[in-house]
Amino acid sequence: VFLQTILIGDSGVGKTSLLVQFDQGKFIPGSFSATVGIGFTVCIWDTAGQERFGSVTHAYYRDAHALLLLYDITSKTSFDNIRAWLTEIHEYAQSNVVIMLLGNKADMSSDRAIRRDEGERLAKEYSVPFMETSAKTGVNVELTFTAVAKELKHRAVQYPNEPKFQIHEYIEAQKGKSGCCSYF
């Protein structure tokens, strides 16, 4: 089963950096060439699985199974634009798409423009999980991708009697364990 996850958000919020941090475990400073939405594929192989390939469409994220929606905690504009991104998502993406809101650059607390609770409130309004991340320090990066992968796997392959995976609960439990929030 191939599951497509796409990172979206304004230019410069750190989409590429976050993916590089997850993929290579390091931060490569400096801008990458402009990317509108960048995707990666989570491949889940399971004999009980069902392949779910969507048809190719013009909207690049129409076939996405998960969307990581990023803003930059030091940029009010990038935060304000989240609503517009969400409107577009609800218009074009699959209705059952897994969405996660990420406030990136959490390491830049001295330049913070958006409080953590503002991010939380927006996420609640749209009923999506929320996390502050840093592509630089790596805080919550692995947790983000793991939570999405688990949710996608759960949706694609569900065994009888398996309890429903709850992405919100998973994130809250893991946050508590890792001491993730000492940055905030």
Contact 29, 105 (CB under 8 A): no
Q: Which two tokens stand for residue 89?
A: 């998502």
Q: Between 15 and 65, name the residue whose CB sits nearer to ligand GTP.
A: 15
Which tokens belong to 78? 């990038």
Q: How far apart are the first and last CA of the chain?
A: 37
**Does 77 participate in binding ligand GTP (rule CB under 6 A)?**
no
* Sequence-distant (≥ 6) Cβ neighbours of residue 30 within 8 angstroms: none
Q: Which of 29, 160, 163, 179 binds ligand GTP (CB under 6 A)?
A: 29
Contact region with ligand GTP (CB under 6 A), list: 24-32, 44-52, 149-157, 169-177 = 24-32
**Of the candidates 32, 49, 80, 90, which one interacts with ligand GTP according to CB under 6 A?**
32
Nearer to ligand GTP, 52 or 112 (CB): 112
Binding ligand GTP by CB under 6 A: which of 1, 6, 13, 147? Answer: 13
Q: Which residue has the tokens 């009888």?
A: 160
User: Among residues 15 and 154, whose Cβ is nearest to ligand GTP?
Assistant: 15
Q: If we measure between CA atoms, which residue out of 163, 114, 108 comes closest to residue 136?
A: 108
Least distance in angstroms from the C-beta of 138 to ligand GTP? 9
Using CA atoms, how far apart are residues 73 and 115, in angstroms rounded to an integer? Answer: 8
**Half-sphere exposure (Cβ direction) of 125: Cα atoms closer than 13 Å:** 10
- Selected range binding ligand GTP among 50-58, 90-98, 131-139, 146-154, rule: CB under 6 A: 131-139
Which residues in this chain contact ligand GTP in the complex, by CB under 6 A?
A: 11-17, 29-32, 34-35, 104-105, 107-108, 134-136
